[in-house]
């Protein structure tokens, strides 16, 4: 899905595949366990001209399903979500709805850790929010594309 702002900024997120992490218990009285994550490819272009790409296992399947329905709610009935965010188990990616007008929504996509922009001089990740002023139709389209992407990855 791609969220595109009127000022030229955009965030593109695609689920590449599922990734299962399996851990074996060291102690005999503890069970082994596994966890499924979705490997997400993100591409970001800010209004200031910064551009970067990341690949990060930053969403659980449940988080990913919440994303599509949150975007649809933001598009159709944003009132209760104003100032609220969609925060996931892995803090590399999150969303906040800052404002809603008749046909536009002001979102911030927060990126941290491996998903953040990396300072070209120090190489340090610089997290923060990417503001996106998106029209309602664009949000509905992004939610549909996201759901289709999830179906494709199983």
Question: Residue 116: which of 47, 53, 49 has the closest Cα?
Answer: 53
- The helices-and-strands tally (H runs, E runs) of the chain is 2, 10
Mode of pairing for the β-strands spanning 33-45 and 10-23 = antiparallel
Instruction: Provide the CATH topology of domain 2-153.
Output: Transcriptional Co-activator pc4; Chain A (2.30.31)
pLDDT tens digits for range 22-35:
766 666 666 555 57
Return the H-helix or E-strand segment holding 71.
helix 61-76
pTM above 0.75, yes or no: yes
pLDDT tens digits for range 121-154:
888 878 789 999 999 999 999 999 999 999 988 6
| 92-107 average pLDDT score | 95
User: Residue 72: CA atoms inside 13 Å, Cβ hemisphere, count?
Assistant: 10
């Amino acid at each position: 899905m791609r969220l595109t702002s009127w000022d030229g900024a955009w965030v593109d997120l695609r689920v590449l595949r599922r990734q299962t992490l399996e851990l074996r218990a060291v102690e005999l009285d503890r069970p082994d366990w596994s966890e499924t994550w979705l490997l997400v490819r993100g591409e970001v272009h800010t209004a200031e001209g910064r551009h970067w790409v990341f690949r990060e296992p930053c969403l659980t399947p449940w988080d990913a399903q919440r994303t599509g329905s949150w975007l649809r709610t933001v598009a159709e009935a944003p009132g209760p979500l104003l100032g609220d965010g969609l925060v996931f188990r892995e803090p590399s990616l999150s969303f906040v709805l800052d404002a809603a007008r008749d046909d536009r929504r002001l979102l911030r996509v927060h990126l941290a850790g491996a998903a953040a922009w990396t300072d070209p001089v120090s190489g340090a990740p610089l997290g923060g929010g990417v503001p996106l002023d998106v029209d309602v139709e664009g949000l509905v389209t992004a939610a549909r594309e996201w759901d289709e992407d999830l179906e494709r990855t199983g």
